[in-house]
Structure 1
């Protein structure tokens, strides 16, 4: 559940974004047929997503249904590419999270066991996730769990109201598109995997017939959010995930029945999505909340990825050039415009600012990259990443600075690869070595092999503040090439809003903190977040100023391990009444390397209103 007080999204019922004709893929983008490049890009993005997976609670903090969709996306990635490294994490989640949990532990609602709760759509998302796990492993326990979830949801099908449909919640207050699109897809997927099934096929047909007659599909072929109490369409916002689920539901039912009328309806839904007045702006899939002046909440951040999951199914099923071209356009746009040096993918695929980056936006945009991977994965691929990708340098006066970088090169395939790595830096800088070679011996697609190159970057004294790219390109033969970079931030002071790209280089450990937009990072419960300020070697005094409110604890450290508490809010503030710019002297807490760490957490971890930071500055003498 998302707290309304922290949701910056602006909702206007019935408004949709104006569409535009599809444009050509971005200049320099790999063509849709370039399977090795598409696979490598998906791998890099999937690895970045999984860096946010929390193995103890076995989820992505701190969202329940979003975690289901993220894990299903990782399953899509593994199925599409042949990579199988993340099967243990899927099973970890299955075994640890299938029990009963109180409200607030994994979900705002109590979890009733077997991934069910009063949120019926949340339960359905988990059902689809476990079918994906079954497809990958053929382990029957996953399919059995999906059946158990479907049996629970079936109890909320109610023909006494509006003639049918599944209720959205346990209180039976709303019938909507997402719950019923999920129901049709879930039951059709079960039928297509259970020999001699008739029951789930009947439920899928019944659900489809009710949904398509409900009025939620408007005259333009776009899916509105749900029904009013009088059973008429409420005309609410056309969210991309509702459109995508309707497409996906029809496709899976078509596979079960081969009824051509189903594909006719699916094509109408798909064509409406990319037509003027649909879900596309300037050739880019655009959520209503992506528009200027609006911000997607934690739910909306993942909607476009769900759309692309089922659009991939559409392109695979129909082989229609319009649909495959749309896949290529979205993947090229995400990779070219919506990616930072750390390979994080943002909310706005066009790259428009302000952009938001977190694991939800990563999972969503990853689906666009997965869709561009050929259904038969390539026999080999090559990728590279840089660590750290966003280093910060606060330089000493009159002295050159050195930064150590590691370029990690990964490959899949069956034959040895001789890989040349060439590094470049801004004019006047030096990078050593500028060229190197590594030999990789891959053994299939299931587990990529890797090797590393260490780089030493010399930054001249007097370099002005700003961001400076240091790039590395890995090449093997004439067909495999992949570029990566580090964006080195030179800054004499820190000065940034939270929830922005400017915050990222300073955010040393995000832990389970969240950001719902600009000037909004918070840590609830036992989560926290840490900023690191690498002050120069000649620093004698330093301080940090945080604009902060709600129930905060502020701690400082010189090594990021031993902490000293410097401020604690003792009153249960929930609505920012105590918002204030507070300054903390860091001078006595500088480490041997003059770095300082500032950690923010929750002084009342049981009520969910932890420290929220809006703006940060840090200075030194």
Structure 2
């Protein structure tokens, strides 16, 4: 039986169930959905999600078919892209989903795609990691209708079931060593098995397992008296009272909700709402914004916690869509608006602290994990069904650097990218208006881009280039060149290029101050404050656009581990200028490396430095902490 008719039948049943549970007649429930779909900010919500999804997918490694250096995080990021495609009907990233499915379902040694050995079919000793992949492939099945994804999810769930036993009366173990039973592994199992049941007509086995898992979880004591989900149980089979993380709360909401779909038991829907209310009424929020325990200005979230809030929003979105409750829709909107206003930079990157905020020792972090997490909030704000017409804009470069000469202005080209969706064969004329700071000039200031939409699946795109002239008197700091794009039917979207004017180079890596200088991040990573590293065949490149009157230049990199540093005058032809020839993996060679860049000053005085791995086979590549550069004129 094909997937689509089955899912339509499930949805039809659910509309009636929702109407009965929340006290609405079917017509009233339909009206509530219609009102939501006509919200004035619908096209803007689609546009924001699109630009954020594009930024996320720019970090996808097509060769290894994952997001570098994180196995379970990659599963969640791809599931989020599946959510995005299902919500908006943008289908551009279906090939990447299938690329990962084809390339990564085999066996891999430890360190190849994860710290753990991968046992095939996306499984490993980390049972929860395996389950994340199961949910990802169910989402791929929902988007495509291709049964191979559902079969893979069933294999993963069967593997997971092998780690259920009667210790503590039931539950799935967190790892193959059977050392811990916790909320995340069992929340995942409830949702995974219930999703399988709801997509397999006539199933009884997965439903029985899901019900048993919920009964055990609900009675485990991990849901405390405040309705918040604690981390796991201790050796005495009592809740350990450890940190309430938003993703555990979200999975509990999602598990109860999906099992309600399977059974129609109104107590499950009531529980899902109670758990959601406990989180958003203050249990996991600060001033109405979802906040992780590690989001405070005196802490830094690790690579796992960076992605937790998005998982909560994924399942709160499901609850909002199901109940149409204003409370949940309002909360979703608040998260999306706050992220866009306070946690969103000129390059359309989204950070880990949704309310913004940074500190010297614990800055707000922007990477693909934080991008995927915040994207879930933007997706949740997209109405159902999504508007067919939408308009987006971005700038390239988004964060250029200008190092002015002592006299004379500096020119740079900024490209305003425009993309639209809408009915095919109906041209859209987008008007572009660009503004620069006082004393700067931009040419042209207005113009149009004519595009022919092809529906929602593949947005049509075009570019409007402008030349910006930065005066020699421009003060050091960040200056916005803003662009607003408008079209018929009231469509509008704003973007900006944040131009950094600087007379010196001095920044810590892994911080916002690094980003304007980072010309090509490739597959490099930053796993904490003040570091950036590139393992294997990955690298990262800094571009230093020295002023036109520069005579000599040198850079100092604080660097360690197995590094290669290369210099270039054009970003294409490279010369090795420093290299660690020993196998150093413990940072014991950390030192300042001074590099003379004079020979690599290009015709425009720009110089490029590339850092990579001198022993790519062992995965301990160059790690940079601090960068400075000095010139003479």
Distance in 1, Cα, partners of 2:96 & 2:615: 31
- Counterpart position of 1:345: 350
Instruction: Please tell me whether residue 379 in structure 1 is matched to residue 373 in structure 2.
Output: no
- Counterpart position of 2:326: 321
- Counterpart position of 2:299: 294
Indicate the structure whose relative CO is greater, using CA pairs within 8 Å and at least 6 residues apart: 1
Contact 1:431 1:456 survives alignment (8 Å)? yes
Instruction: Please tell me whether residue 43 in structure 1 is matched to residue 46 in structure 2.
Output: no
The SS at the match of 2:233 is: coil
Comparing 414-423 with 42-51, which one deviates more in the overlay? 414-423
In structure 2, which of residues 239, 246, 249 is the aligned counterpart of residue 243 of structure 1?
Answer: 249
Deviation digits for residues 126-177 of structure 1 (CA, Å, limit 9, x no counterpart):
1111111111110111111111111111111111x11111111111111111
Instruction: Please tell me whether residue 492 in structure 1 is matched to residue 503 in structure 2.
Output: yes
Contact 1:32 1:372 survives alignment (8 Å)? no
- Counterpart position of 1:477: 488
Give the deviation of 1:416 after TM superposition: 2.8
In structure 1, which of residues 87, 112, 137 is the aligned counterpart of residue 144 of structure 2?
Answer: 137
Give the deviation of 1:31 after TM superposition: 11
Distance in 2, Cα, partners of 1:416 & 1:570: 58
Distance in 2, Cα, partners of 1:434 & 1:112: 57
Instruction: Please tell me whether residue 93 in structure 1 is matched to residue 92 in structure 2.
Output: no
Q: State the Cα RMSD in Å.
A: 1.5
Give the deviation of 1:63 after TM superposition: 1.0
Instruction: Please tell me whether residue 214 in structure 1 is matched to residue 244 in structure 2.
Output: no
Distance in 1, Cα, partners of 2:585 & 2:102: 35
Give the deviation of 1:33 after TM superposition: 5.0
Instruction: Please tell me whether residue 128 in structure 1 is matched to residue 135 in structure 2.
Output: yes
Give the deviation of 1:95 after TM superposition: 0.7
- Counterpart position of 1:611: 622
Give the deviation of 1:77 after TM superposition: 0.4
The SS at the match of 1:503 is: helix
In structure 1, which of residues 459, 464, 471 is the aligned counterpart of residue 475 of structure 2?
Answer: 464
- Counterpart position of 1:434: 445
Contact 1:32 1:328 survives alignment (8 Å)? no
Comparing 181-190 with 544-553, which one deviates more in the overlay? 544-553
Contact 1:406 1:455 survives alignment (8 Å)? yes
Give the deviation of 1:62 after TM superposition: 1.7
- TM (norm. structure 1) is 0.93
Give the deviation of 1:600 after TM superposition: 1.8
- Counterpart position of 1:21: none
Distance in 2, Cα, partners of 1:288 & 1:32: 33
- Counterpart position of 1:450: 461
In structure 2, which of residues 171, 190, 196 is the aligned counterpart of residue 184 of structure 1?
Answer: 190
- Counterpart position of 1:76: 83
Structure 1 unaligned blocks of 5 or more: 1-29
Deviation digits for residues 378-417 of structure 1 (CA, Å, limit 9, x no counterpart):
1211111111100111122211111101111111111432
- TM (norm. structure 2) is 0.91
- Counterpart position of 1:12: none
Distance in 2, Cα, partners of 1:507 & 1:158: 50
The SS at the match of 1:249 is: helix
- Counterpart position of 1:503: 514
Comparing 377-386 with 585-594, which one deviates more in the overlay? 585-594
- Counterpart position of 2:270: 264
In structure 2, which of residues 536, 544, 547 is the aligned counterpart of residue 536 of structure 1?
Answer: 547
Deviation digits for residues 549-586 of structure 1 (CA, Å, limit 9, x no counterpart):
23322222222232222222344444433322222111
The SS at the match of 1:144 is: helix
Which has a greater percent of helix? Answer: 2
Q: Which residues of 2 match residues 18-37 of structure 1 at below 5 A?
A: 34-37=41-44
Deviation digits for residues 249-271 of structure 1 (CA, Å, limit 9, x no counterpart):
01110011110110121111111
Comparing 52-61 with 524-533, which one deviates more in the overlay? 524-533
